[in-house]
């Protein structure tokens, strides 16, 4: 099929950047979106130009490195997928596809479609961990955990830190991300030791890094490739209130 791509090109983080239009005549519906970009890059290289820079690693929806804003949506039109899992079958012949990097003050563009996601690492460093001694893994059944709680923790723990929530949010807020991290520990006994400090530190850090705040619009939940629920944000708010009051 034939497609027209309008892609953000930016030489360096300081460069002003601009959109460049590319046409591809022989895209297969069996390609993934990133394979289509690889194919486009091969053509660009053959023409002696500099290929489009974009992030990717595992290409199976686990690592969270890829992530492009495609036609007004993070990761394109398919629901519950990362950009690398997006199939070209979601598009039709003659489509015009606009590809932009995540836009957020906290995620500056480094080159073309690559952004600096260090802000998420800083958020994790601020409280998204539990302190345990290194060594052999303890016996899993020594601490009994309710089934419902383990499910809540797991559903929050599937967050891959891709930043789709920030990209989708009209306020470029990282609330869904930190709520997933806080929730994942809030319902488990291992997370209780640092629970109070964690929620406060992560929210403070989020503000410091220049992320916006939550207006309960729900775009993050709609676009999260791991379909993390807004209920986690309510839990984050509860945890925060409890930490402040108690």
Partner 1 sequence: MRSFLGTSVAKKIVMALAGLFLIIFLLVHLTINLFLLSDDPNPFNNAANFMAANPIIKAFELVLFAGFLIHITWGVILQIQNWLARPKKYIKHHSSQTSFFSKYMIYLGVIIFIFLIIHFVNFYFVKLGWVEGDPENFYDMAHKLFKIPVYSIIYLICFLFLAFHLHHAFQSAFQTIGLNHPKYTPTIKLIGTLYSIIVPLGFAIIPVIIYFFK
- Applying CB under 8 A, the residues found at the interface with partner 1 are 19, 69, 71-74, 98, 100, 103-106, 168, 170-173, 200, 203-204, 206-207, 210-219, 222-223, 230-231, 233-241, 244
* Closer residue to partner 1 in complex, CB, 48/99: 99
Residues of 15-41 as b/e, b for ≥16 C-beta within 10 angstroms?
eebeeeebebeebeeeebbbbbbeebb
Question: Is the separation of the CB atoms in 167 and 101 below 8 Å?
Answer: no
CA distances from 84 to 35, 154, 194, 210 (A): 8, 23, 35, 28
Quote the least distance from Cβ 137 to partner 1, whole Å: 33
Report the residue number, 28 or 216, with the smaller CB distance to partner 1.
216
List residues bridging with 32 in a β-sheet: 87
d(CA 136, CA 123): 27
Non-local CB neighbours of 134 within 8 Å, separated by 6+ positions: none
Longest dimension (CA), the chain: 65
Nearer to partner 1, 66 or 106 (CB): 106
> Least distance in Å: CB of 47 to partner 1?
25
Q: Cα separation of 183 and 152, whole Å?
A: 8
- Decide whether 29 or 204 has the Cβ nearer to partner 1: 204
Residue closer to partner 1 (CB basis): 45 or 242: 242
- What's the closest the beta carbon of residue 233 comes to partner 1, in angstroms? 7
Write down the least CB distance from residue 142 to partner 1, Å.
31
For residue 28, the minimal CB distance to partner 1 (Å) is 24
């Amino acid at each position: 099929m034939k497609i027209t791509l309008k892609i953000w090109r930016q030489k360096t983080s300081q460069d002003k950047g601009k959109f460049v239009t590319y046409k591809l005549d022989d895209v297969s519906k069996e390609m993934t979106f990133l394979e289509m970009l690889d194919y486009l890059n091969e053509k660009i290289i053959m023409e002696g130009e500099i290929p489009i820079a974009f992030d990717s690693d595992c290409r199976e929806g686990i690592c969270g490195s890829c992530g492009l804003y495609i036609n007004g949506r993070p990761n394109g039109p398919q629901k519950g997928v990362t950009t690398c899992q997006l199939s070209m079958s979601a598009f039709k012949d003659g489509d015009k596809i606009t590809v932009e990097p995540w836009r957020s003050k906290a995620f500056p563009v480094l080159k073309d479609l690559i952004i600096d996601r260090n802000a998420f690492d800083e958020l994790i460093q601020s409280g998204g961990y539990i302190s345990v001694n290194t060594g052999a893994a303890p016996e899993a059944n020594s601490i009994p955990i309710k089934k419902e709680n383990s499910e809540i923790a797991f559903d929050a723990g599937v967050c891959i830190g891709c930043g789709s929530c920030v990209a989708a949010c009209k306020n470029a807020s990282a609330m869904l991300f930190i709520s997933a991290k806080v929730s994942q520990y809030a319902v488990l006994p291992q997370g209780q030791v640092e629970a109070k400090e964690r929620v406060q530190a992560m929210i403070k850090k989020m503000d410091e890094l220049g992320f916006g705040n939550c207006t309960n619009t729900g775009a993050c939940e709609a676009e999260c490739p791991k379909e993390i629920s807004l209920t986690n944000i309510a839990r984050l708010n509860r945890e925060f209130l409890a930490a402040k009051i108690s």
